[in-house]
A and B are shown apart, each in its own frame.
Chain A
């Protein structure tokens, strides 16, 4: 069973960038699509985007196009989410979450499991 461990909390200045990591154990990242989901304080879940290592492709929510980049280093089983031009309303807990890709049948699982523990990113001057 794959497990995810994320990097620690970050405090960033407005206008700067943050890069959060998500390390997987128990399986290879090439079997999954790596998603990032964020949750602002007291707010709901917001899907940001996905990177599919098998194809090397990524898809992003329109809201984050141009500001977010999701990548993965399969040699270290670590995924990354970089968000640039940070604003105060980017203050949130950021989660990585996987869904399964079956390369034998070219099918996806279309649900998020497992999830990382979350990383708090605070944007403040």
Chain B
């Protein structure tokens, strides 16, 4: 199957600092990528849709100025958590759909565990 890679897998940062998470499609071009957040023992909640060459689309209740998304190339989307606070600690996961007949099948990155102290 297609490969989506996320980096870093774990990050610890101090309150007030910003953290950037990268999501790469390794073997296909991704015009769209999705960013999810998952709190412990809960399901994945879609945060935003990252669109190559245009603005991201945010889900209701997600602050676009806090979660900055950049999708500057067909293989890379980044999520920057700005002015992080302990309540932003979570598991962040990206996904994308390769083009083709099975274009609806999503492949996920390994996830990034963010801990804000």
Q: Do A and B come from one complex?
A: no
